[in-house]
Structure 1
Amino acid sequence: MLSGDIPVERWKPDGAMWSARGYLPPDYEKTGQCEDTEANPCQVAEDLFLDGKPVRRVMKKSAVDATTFYADYAADVIYLGQNPADRAVTLARTRTAVTSSAPGVVIEHLTIRGFANLPQQGALVIAGKDWTVRDSTITSNHGVGIMIAQADNARITGNDIRENGQLGLGQYRSHNGRIDNNRIRSNNTAEFWRADWEAGGIKVTRSSSTISNNDVSDNLGVGIWIDLAGDRVAITDNTIGGNAACGVRYEISRNGRIAGNTVTGNGLALKRGAGTGLLTGAGITVNTSSAVTVEHNDVAGNLNGIGIQARPRGDGPWGEYVLENVMVADNLVDLRGPDTATTGYVESGSPTLPPDSGSVKFQNNRYVLPDTAAPKFSFKGDSLTFEGWQGAGNDTVGAVNPA
């Protein structure tokens, strides 16, 4: 086991609290977007554990109660609201467990926990080619559990990546990654912004990878997020459930395949920035991306079903980001979740659209509706029944409430 926390032992009674001096590092510049935009507790990386379990942080001494702690960096004092006698109290202090640019490293059967890695930084940083991380547990670290950074051909398999403060796994400027058969659950314990700031299960940026046969569930953010010039990412045969924001979000990227996934109960636990429309999110969202196929997925009980978005998003490495050549086919979409749930295609602002009006196609999808006459389909600003949806040229051989 690699542990990044240290014992905190020099406790003294301090009014209704207990205090310990001399354990905190010097104060430092804070980064990251939190749900709480006033106090910004997610930006502070030194987490406190009591008998191995995290204690909730508050950002002022007067707010300490029996379930919380406060760290005063200027005075170098930790305040705890319960008696620490005969308890194991530890503080995350070490920034990184492992980081290396050496090629061909294999990590297996290792537990990495309790590191004070900063936002967007990994407790385990893969910076060399051809790494393998398998059958390990990455948990209770403050930032990202595993970060693949400019490291091609990484294999991440069979791991338990859970209860990290920001994100389970990140991939940046790395190609041919293989992320399979992992359990990536209950991340973003530090309450970074759930809706739209790198929090949740997996985030891939400027990279290519295959993400398959993982359980990506109950993360307080997006389940699997491809963003900012992802290219050739396949998301296949995963269980993606109960994530606070989108189950899958494929954003300003290209050449994607989202297939064979079970996507249930996502998008229902948003806080700041919450909404109900397709622009907020869905079980599967494709946002201003090109050459993406969404097929053979089972999508049920999410904030919305499958949402295809066109927005003005500026330029990327291959020119302007546009929504183009998106195929949504042979999915089962159950909209018997929230009353406001819809599925379809939506535009925002003044996006650049390709001249081919059929560049986004819905074909042969099956839908389960609470009422076959309900207007559960969105298309270019209109709310349509299935009959109207077909009349607009979508799912002409699709079906509603299949047996």
Structure 2
Amino acid sequence: MLRPPISQSPITSPTASAARPQTLTRLAIATTLGALVASGLSIAPLPAASVPASAATHYLADSMSRTSTTGWGSPETGKAYSFNAKDRFSISSGVGAIKLLPGKHSFATSAINQANAKAKVDVSFDSLPQAGSMYAHLALRHSSDSRYESSLRLTDGGKLILEVSKTVNGKKSVLDSHVIDDKASVGKAYRMEFAVTGTASPKLQARAYAGSSAPAWQVSTEDQSASAITSAGSLRTGGYLSSQAAKASGLHMDNLLASSAAAVISELPEDFVPRDITPTLAPTDNHDAEESVPEATPDLSPDSTLPSNALYVSTSGSNSAKGTFNAPVRSIGTAISMASSGQTIVVRAGSYHETVKIPSGKKIHLRSYPGEKVWLDGSSVLKNFSTSNGRYTTAWNHDFDSSPTYTRGAKDNTEEAWGFVNDDYPMAAHPEQVWIDGVAQKQVGSLSAVRAGTFYVDKAGNKMTLGTNPSGKSVRASTLVKALSIRADGATVNGINVRKYAPSVPDMGAVTAEKPGISLSNLTVEDSATTGINVSAVNNKISNVRIQRSGMLGMNAVYADGLSVNKLVSTANNAERFNSSPVSGGLKITRSRGITVKNSTLSSNKGPGLWIDESVYNSKVLNNDMANNTGHGMSLEISAKAIVANNRIINNGGNGFKLNNSNDVQIWNNTISGKNRALNIVQDKRRGANKSDPGHDPRQSFPDATMPWIIKNITVKNNVLSNSGGGNAIMAVEDFSKEFTAEQMKISLASNAYHRTSTTSPKWSAVWANAAKNPHVYTTLAGFQKAKGQDKSSFEVTAGSVLTSGNELAASVTSKAGKAGNATALPSSIASLISETAGSKRVGHYSR
């Protein structure tokens, strides 16, 4: 009889520092014991581990201190489990076991019937999957086809990733993720914790760790979408094994606990910024659809929705293979070289370290396999460090271009306030990037400046030196410049994610769409050294794309007539802190015609959210959120003919909406709120007829009659204009060239809500241009209405805020807006663009 070397003391206290390691040791040993039992050995039961008592209400508590050959039975506290496949569940040696079959779900559900809850469970994996991934799941608010879920995903390479997802009507989207371990060990036990709180905008928090010290929440996000799951539901736990796996595997689970969530509601990190997570931003291992009885068999043939002549790529393939489903090639580049124009290339799950070029003349359709997650990864592992004076050095043979402008080799601009690189962040344009255990390190300019959390590149000596001890840690650095260069008309890229590439500023971006008719959809681009995506040709489409943590700019477009941007999330960009001008932030579009940006979220960027600049004609900005950016929420500059409707522009560091030198602009039903001027309309000395003023579109004849660069014909109706504590005015119209009055500019305002926090903050409700004389200023809306006859149907609100916690309009606005005459009927030309009813009356944005 085999008895494992484990302490016989039961675990009884949640605060005892020795308790947690003991529990995890029991679980790790159980993985090994499971294999031994299968070989015929008899195992003495482990001592029971009681679930710790807590001040919180327990909805379910299960120490697994019983024996069951089929199913898990009933927990000590809570309702009995139900199963989709009871024979895959068992309990022995005081630990629960789950058998995982390729392509199958295995799950147990307990009806806790709660909306706000936190849950935790100890998990270990019996083996690495032979291919694809293996999952351990912990879900809350579960119903028949919807849930929020925290998962530990173990890849065939040994990487362990914590993922938080939402499933609605059977469709799953991964909301956020965090790498726990780059090389996880089989049998190592991890505690997974998950909390869901709130109804208007549910907060989701998750973490996973080994040992006794719980880290801060590793994933924290908020679901502000219309499809947020708000109702109470069950707890569900279990696992899934990729259909690519050749044989069954399993999980072990212990100490499952679900309790009230009150204790974790205030545990969001101080720098947490909510964001809209409506889009399915990236493809994921698609085990959303629950199998029916009898169960489906693992996929032995390609998905029937894929073209029969598709070429296949797999991390397990060979570049000498034929590229069929059963004989895939290893690299995407090889598949492209084999493909004919118009052919589809299907990439199986995994990480691909390569630079992909779709050449001119090859209309390739590049996509991920349905339900599988694909990454182009520009980073490599660094190792073989030597130690000296508390610093850690390794060989570095990559020479990246550090040009600070779009002209390779040129020095930075010297004109005041127009240089790319901020003097406080001199290494911004250097594309080298390093991560230690997933944490980005800061580049410094000399060896003597190396400290913990920083690194230095000695180009002459071909060395890289770190300030943090890399021993026992995952160290990765960007070693490739570009991910995707798309140079074929009509090419499409769907579900090919991109991370950790090192483009310099003149490389334009990690992904570049360089020809007409290109479509990018359902992908994430993250951790690019400068810019994530660049579009430089006409009639391109960006749909359901997420760009995050780019060094300078999320996305840039130039000469991009007909550009359609739909469901873009561009967040946390300008991580290297380039100057806000001439380029930074979430999305900048220049020298283009007929562009649309809609249903997108541009948030938490260091710089502006959306910047339309330099002769952009006929733009539509519809149904977007621009929030928490350090610059202006939106800037429309030296351009013409624009519709800005039904946007939320909230809590930005600059003006809410700054309108410079642009004509024929319609601004309808926006909510613009922040600690500065809500709407700032500014004319300066630049003129479209002056060839020496930069910003003309060289494709147009000069002078371009459509681009006078003079403020004229501006309509502002049904907007909430809120200054919540900063700047000196709510709304301002100014002419620094001192040529025009606001009347000559033909500014027309009506049916707007002006918000201030007190009768003296801000100082003025309105500033009104007066040509060469000082502008008129009005301390109240009533004074402005009386003096200028503008905004007669508008009203002023004095309150702490005009927004709810979910950024919808508070009663202080909606009650007054509902009165007769306080809103203008929505014209059909605007209503059709924002999918609202023509003739409806509302002040501010329509509810999301």
User: Quick check: TM above 0.5?
Assistant: yes
CA distance 1:39–1:185, change in 2 (3 Å): closer
Q: Does 1:389 align with 2:781?
A: no
Partner of 2:300: none
Within the candidate set 744, 751, 770, 1:364 is matched to 751
Q: Which one-letter code corresponds to 1:282 in the other structure?
A: N
Match of 2:666 among 293, 299, 306: 293
Match of residue 108, structure 1, among 472, 490, 494: 494
Partner residue of 1:122? 509
- CA distance 1:219–1:39, shift in 2 (3 Å): closer
Corresponding residue for residue 342 of structure 1: 730
**1:8-19 alignment, distance < 5 Å:** 8-19=382-393
- Give the aligned partner of residue 328 of structure 1: 716
Distance 1:174 1:110 in 2: 22
Q: State the shift of 1:364 in Å.
A: 2.1
Q: In the alignment, is the contact (CA less than 8 A) between 1:34 and 1:191 conserved in 2?
A: no
Q: Does 1:154 align with 2:548?
A: no
The one-letter code of the counterpart of 1:207 is: S
Q: Find the counterpart in structure 1 of residue 655 from structure 2.
A: 282
Give the match for residue 7 of structure 1. Answer: 381
Match of 1:375 in 2: 764
Q: Which amino acid aligns with 2:767?
A: S
- Cα–Cα, structure 1 residues 261 and 352, in superposed 2: closer, same or farther, change >3 Å? same
CA apart distance, 1:28? 5.1
Quickly say closer, same or farther: Cα 1:155–1:312, change in 2 above 3 A: same
User: Aligned-residue CA RMSD in angstroms?
Assistant: 2.1
Identity across matched positions, percent: 23
- With 365-374 and 38-47 compared, the bigger mean Cα shift is at 365-374
Once residues 711 and 585 of structure 2 are traced to their aligned partners in structure 1, the CA distance between those partners, rounded to angstroms, is 25
| Residue in structure 1 matched with residue 571 of structure 2 by the alignment | 185
* TM superposition shift of 1:29: 3.9
Is residue 2:581 matched to residue 1:207? no
Kindly report which structure 2 residues correspond to 1:260-271, keeping only aligned pairs within 5 A, or say none: 260-267=646-653
**Contact kept? 2:657, 2:679, Cα under 8 Å:** yes
Q: Report whether the alignment pairs 1:87 with 2:473.
A: yes
For residues 619 and 750 of structure 2, what CA distance do their matches in structure 1 show? 22
CA separation in 1, counterparts of 2:436 and 2:535?
A: 30
> In the alignment, does 2:772 pair up with 1:399?
no
User: Per-residue deviation at 1:358?
Assistant: 4.8
The answer as to whether partners of 1:108 and 1:136 remain within 8 angstroms in 2 is yes
Q: Which runs of 5+ in 1 are unaligned?
A: 268-280
Match of 1:42, SS state, is coil
* Cα pair 1:250 1:286 within 8 Å, conserved: yes
- Give the number of the structure with larger relative contact order, counting CA–CA contacts within 8 Å between residues 6 or more apart: 1
Distance of aligned partners of 1:351 and 1:35 in 2 relative to their CA distance in 1, 3 Å threshold: farther
Aligned-residue offset at 1:44 = 0.4
Q: Distance in 2 between matches of 1:339 and 1:98?
A: 43
Give the AA of the match of 1:13: T
1:308 to 2:681 alignment: yes
Residue 684 of structure 2 aligns with an amino acid whose one-letter code is R
8 Å contact from structure 2 (residues 608, 631) kept in 1:
yes
1:290 deviation in Å? Answer: 1.1
The alpha-carbon deviation at position 79 of structure 1 amounts to 1.5
Worse-superposed segment, 311-320 or 78-87 = 311-320
- Counterpart AA for 1:343: M
196-205 or 350-359, larger mean C-alpha shift: 350-359
> Counterparts of 1:314 and 1:295 in 2: how far apart (Å)?
27
Secondary structure of the residue aligned to 2:505 is coil
Out of 206, 224, 229, the position equivalent to 2:615 is 229
AA of the residue aligned to 1:134: S
Match of 1:167 in 2: 553
Distance 2:424 2:574 in 1: 18
Contact persistence 2:425–2:576 (CA under 8 A): no
204-213 or 17-26: which moved more? 17-26
Task: List per-residue Cα deviations over 1:303-344 (Å, max 9, x = no partner).
Answer: 220110000113345154211112122101122232645322
Residues 291 and 75 (structure 1), Cα distance of their counterparts in 2 relative to 1, 3 Å cut = same
22-31 or 169-178, larger mean C-alpha shift: 22-31
Given that residues 27 and 74 in structure 1 are in contact (C-alpha distance below 8 angstroms), is that contact kept between their aligned partners in structure 2? Answer: no
Superposition deviation, residue 174 in structure 1: 1.1
Q: Structure 1 residues 356 and 214 mapped into 2: Cα distance closer, same or farther (>3 Å)?
A: same
Give the Cα separation in 2 of the matches to 1:259 and 1:85: 53
- 1: CA distance between counterparts of 2:586 and 2:636? 14
Counterpart CA distance in 2 for 1:197 and 1:171 is 14
In structure 1, how many angstroms separate the alpha carbons of the residues matched to 2:401 and 2:617? 39
Secondary structure at the residue paired with 2:784? Answer: helix
- TM score, norm. by length of structure 2: 0.44
Contact 1:124 1:146 (C-alpha < 8 Å) held by counterparts: yes
Post-superposition Cα deviations, 1:253-300, rounded to whole Å, max 9, x if no partner, equal 111111100110012xxxxxxxxxxxxx41111100111111110111
Pair 293,25 (structure 1): closer, same or farther in 2 beyond 3 Å: same
**Matches of 1:356 and 1:382, distance apart in 2:** 12
Task: Find the residue that maps to 1:62 and give its secondary structure.
Answer: helix
| Corresponding position of 2:459 | 73
Name the residue aligned to 2:526: 139
Decide whether the 8 Å contact of 1:56 with 1:68 is kept in 2: yes
Report if aligned partners of 2:401, 2:504 keep a CA contact under 8 Å in 1.
Answer: no
> Do the aligned partners of residues 16 and 368 (structure 1) sit closer, same or farther apart at CA in structure 2, a change above 3 Å counting?
same
Q: Identify, as 1 or 2, the structure richer in helix.
A: 2
The question of whether the paired residues in 1 share the 8 Å contact of 2:425 and 2:578 is answered with: no
The equivalent residue for 1:217 is: 603
Q: TM-score, normalising length from structure 1?
A: 0.90
Instruction: After superposition, give the CA deviation of every residue in 1:340-369 in whole Å (9 maximum; x if it has no partner).
Output: 453221222x26549961522222211122
User: Does the 8 Å CA contact 1:326/1:360 hold for their aligned counterparts?
Assistant: yes
Question: 1:264·1:302 contact (CA, 8 Å) conserved in 2?
Answer: no
Structure (1 or 2) with the larger CA radius of gyration: 2
Q: Residue 356 and residue 334 in structure 1: after superposition, are their counterparts in 2 closer, same or farther (change >3 A)? A: closer
Query: 2:599–2:623: 8 Å Cα contact kept in structure 1?
Result: yes
The DSSP-based 3-state class of the residue aligned with 2:503 is: coil
Q: Secondary structure at the match of 1:387?
A: helix
2:636 to 223, 235, 250: 250
Q: Using the TM superposition, give the Cα deviation of residue 34 of structure 1 relative to its aligned residue in structure 2, in angstroms.
A: 4.8
Moved more, 35-44 or 5-14: 35-44
> Residues 92 and 58 of structure 1: is their aligned pair in 2 closer, same or farther, counting only changes over 3 Å?
same
